[in-house]
Each structure stands twice: as structure tokens, then as C-alpha cells.
Structure 1
Amino acid sequence: MAEEEAHPVKGGVLSVLFPGAGAEEVRKAFAEGRRITGSGGPEILDGMKDSVAFEARAMVQRHPHGVRLHLTRSADRYRADIVVDGGQGAAFFDDGVSVNLEEFDRVCPAAGLWLDALAEELGVPRRFLGCSAFVSPVGSGLPLHFDDKDVVVVQVSGVKRWRLADNTGLRHPTANYAAGSRYVSRELAGYYRPGSPGAEPPRHLDTVDLRPGDALFLPRGHWHGTEAHEQAPSVSLSFGIATPSWSAVFLERLRLRLLTADHWRAPALRLDSNHGRFAPADLVRRMDEAISDLMSGELDRALAEEITAGRAPDPAADVSGR
């Protein structure tokens, strides 16, 4: 089959996955940080299935790259994520564990072409996109959590039930978090306090069942949990879009500029005749003051206005493209 026939991107992958909404509405949902569902029908998967076999257990066993296991202590709590090889992953799959096949686009050329199309239509550099295949035995899935990236999910086989809710207590997280977990990364802990008012997911969750050919866009930070529903394993593709934050863009530009000066490349040590000090407190304090000035200055206000214009403060309800 010719490459251009292996996937339905000639008419635009966003329009194919979300035909009821269309590409413009999907881009708007992406900018505003709200979820959206759609269904192009099972036929959109024909080229994808020509690219690789989608039999659940065989996919796991034959995967040559990272096979990530999402181990849980109970239906609502994570225990650990570990990476194993395909043979070990298949054994865990037989025991009812959901499996994440990382770098799936490396074994499924059509998935790579979909990533190319998503990057072009969303204006995100291709290097920030990746594809995983989630393979779940019947009744298995993932506890409620949020991710640090935007995700487009496409259901390939089986039925996956999603529990979904807006995250009203946090926008633009830069790390993943599982609801109720005792572990919060150091970075996330700097601006997020689990257990504080509004920080936990709401009691009422929306339920959405995805069937083959259905698609779901999940903005970063959106609460979601999953389960393979009905009487067959679930296989879905997750196209992750890890667009860097403005802070990451600024820090990289700042670092490269600072490195042009000798004194900024020097070791962060103060040495005298008796001892040495790493990152002396007086200089660190002056750096903090400079950062505070920056965050109350014209650039900070300009960025705040840019983001407010692009992202709605109160995400609207799900927009269905069915």
C-alpha cells in the first residue's frame, strides 16, 4: 500500500478523527485546554491495521522497545510503574496488568505518519510528539490521574471506559500525578498541594466509552481513569503532545545568553583562604530578587495576556464530534 494511503491524513488528521467538530474547533479546544470527543468510524483504522498487527497479547510480547507496566495497589491507587521487555510484559498482561508500549511509532509506520500530521496541524515541532499503545486486559485500566502533556487518544479495538473531569485546581501541570498518591514530584510540589481545597478530583466524573474509530482529546492536567470494558481486551493509541512551557523556552534562551559571558560559565563557588562556599547566599538572594523583578515586569504581563487570550479560564463542557 502506498504511504499516502496508509493513513487518513490527506484531508487533515484532526478533521478525520473529529469530523463533527472539524480541525478549527479542535485547535480551539487545544488552545483553551478543554477535552473534545469525536468518531471517524472504524474505517479510519484500516491503514493503521495494515501497518502492524493489533492482536493484544502478541503486540506486547513482540514489542522491541520499552514495555511499561502500570502496577496498582488497588483499583484506585498506583503502586509503581516499571519497564520490562516484551516477554515479561506478556506475562504481566496474562495476570491482568495494563501495559504501555512506548515508542510505538517505531514499529507502526502509520502511527509515525499520524504524528507528523498532528505536529503540522497543531504547529508543534515534531520532536515533542510521541506515540504509545495502551493494551489492557478485560477489567484492567489505570486509576484516576492527570498527565503533564496533551494527548489525542484513538481507540483501535475493544471498548475502553473513561472517567473524566476538569481539573479546577490546577492548570498547565509540568509533572504527572495520581489521585490520592503520597508522592508528589519536587517540581509539582512547588505549586500544587494535594488535599487542599479544589486540588483533588470532583466526586462526580463524566463517563465516556470509546469504541474502535473513536477519538478523545485530553488537555494536560485533565483528570482521567480508564478500564477495558465489556468482554475483550482494549487497544488504544495515545499520541502525546509535550509542548514545552514558556518557562522552559525562556530558560533555554536565558541559559544560552548567559553562557556567552565568562563569569556566568564560572563554577558557582566562592573560595577564600580558609574554606569554600557553593552558591553563596548573598548572590543567590540577588538572583531571587532579579527573578522577582522579572515576574512583576512587562514581559510577565505580556505572557499572562497571551495565555489568557489563548486559554479560557473556565473550561467548557466536553464538545462532542460524534
Structure 2
Amino acid sequence: MSAAGEIMNMANDAIFSKSSSNRSASDQSASEIRSNMSDAAIKSGNPIAMAIGLGSKIVDGAMDATGTRSSQISKEVKEKTGITGAARFLNNAMNFLPGNPLAMGGKKLTDAELSQETENIRSAFTGTLDDIDAAQSIGGSRVNFMLSGKTRNKMNDYVKEQNRKNALLTDISRTNTLRKQSDYAQDLNKQNMNRYSGNTYQNMAVGKEGLKLPNREMLDAIYAKKVTAFKDGGVIGVDSNVIPEGALHKELNHMEEHNEELDKVITDKGIAVVTTDKDGKVEQVAEIEKEEIVFRLELTKKIEEL
């Protein structure tokens, strides 16, 4: 009997380690108690007790091997699922008795789900993950067949609810990951640039060494006086503010292509400001560049005064 008991211990330990009945530290503790009670009966020397002890090991091994034993219910799970303390006590107590057929469980609970995507955002949803972890401890397990009605339904509903939360968190995690990896935000920024500033890529450089933009009133005055064309001639310089088009200081103006005589009189770079006398003689008096605002004398004096 003793030799047979030792053989059954080794077999049962191997079976239990891979059994669905081995889900928590509480399940392991119950298994050890069952085994110790059976061992005590085998070592009692009483033939009847020894037979009962050995028979108990056989029954326990068979229940663990087939996964028909009900799992232990922790206090945390009881509180989260809302089952009664009496139901928990009855379920767990049956598991401490060796060879007890009343420890069998009813229909399995729904399997609990925990995706890697949800696990990746655990630190952001610790409370919800605690609930999902509790569902993991009972998902796919069995409740004692005597409690397979209301108690099982409460526990099963809890597992299903945590699976729903897991699905939501999985979607959140996947969406956030896709957003981090996507360059669509850059496209949206370009669209906004194009919509609100008229420049899709904002490649315009303003102020090489920095500048202070004029206020709204000054800009209105500048744009109101901006010279674009004189159909029948006109006066610029002292009477008007000008934002000229043409070349920069450093760029050739290629005036020789338009008037070879002027090429000998004016600068070959930038924009030449010239005057002519009554005989038509041209004289350069200044050199400016494109987009360089030229204020009329009155406005210049006012700016200096301010």
C-alpha cells in the first residue's frame, strides 16, 4: 500500500502540474492537503483506511487529469463578481476532501481574454487591468456543480465584461500605435498651411537676421500705396511707398539685355534707382533690391519720429 501510495504521489503531482485544476496558489494548497490526508490514511496501518487513502489518490488523479474539478475561488474574485461568501466556502471546502466526487465542477466558464496590445498599456489603465487579471484567474474554470446556477452566471458575466473591456483597450492600443507610426499628421499640417496661409510647404524665408513686422495700420497704408503698374506713367519715390520686384543686391539684373546704353550707366546688380534730366540723361542715385520696402519721405520721417 505504501509503495503504491508513493507511485500515485509521483503520478498525481505530474498530472496536477499540467491540469486545468492548477490555476492558483489556493488550488495548489488544496492539492497538498488532499495528498497529505490520503498519505496519512495509507500510513495508518489500518487496511480499510489504507485502501480508502489509495482510492482517494486514484479519484483525485482522475479528476485532475480530466479537468473536471472545480477551481478555488479567491476572496478578491468573490468581491469582484458579487457571489456570496457561502457559495465560495462550499466550492472551496469540497476541494480539501481527498477523493471527493462532490468537488466536481459544472460547465466551464467563458475563457478570459488578455491581448498583448492591452498588456502594452497596462500602466495607463491599472484599475481595469486588475479586473481583467481577476477574470484571468477564473476564465475557463469550473464552479462546483452544486453552484452552477446563479453563482456560475455571475462569474461568467464578470468574465464576459472583462473580455469586452479587453477588446476596447486593444482597439485603443492599436489606434495609438498606428497614430504614432503614421505621417498623416504631416499631411494635415500641410493642408492647414495651404488653407490658412496659402503656402503648402512654408518654404518662404522671412528676415535673414530677424525682423519686426509692422502693425496693421502701417500695413494697410503700405498696401494701399503699393505701386504695381502705371498705365500712363506716374511718380514713385518721394510720393509713394514701394515694394519693388526684381533682383537682390547680390543678383545680376541683366539690364544689358534690355538697354545696352544703361548697362554702362547703372549698377549691374540689384535694382537701380535713377533720375533723368530735361535732356534725358540718366543718373543712378541709389540701388535697392526686390521686396525691400521703400517709404516715402513723409512716412520715413514719421517712423523716425516714433
Same fold (TM over 0.5): no
- TM-score w.r.t. the length of structure 1 is 0.19
Larger radius of gyration between Structure 1 and Structure 2: 2
- TM-score w.r.t. the length of structure 2 is 0.20
- Greater relative CO (CA pairs within 8 A, separation 6+): 1
- Which protein has the bigger strand share? 1
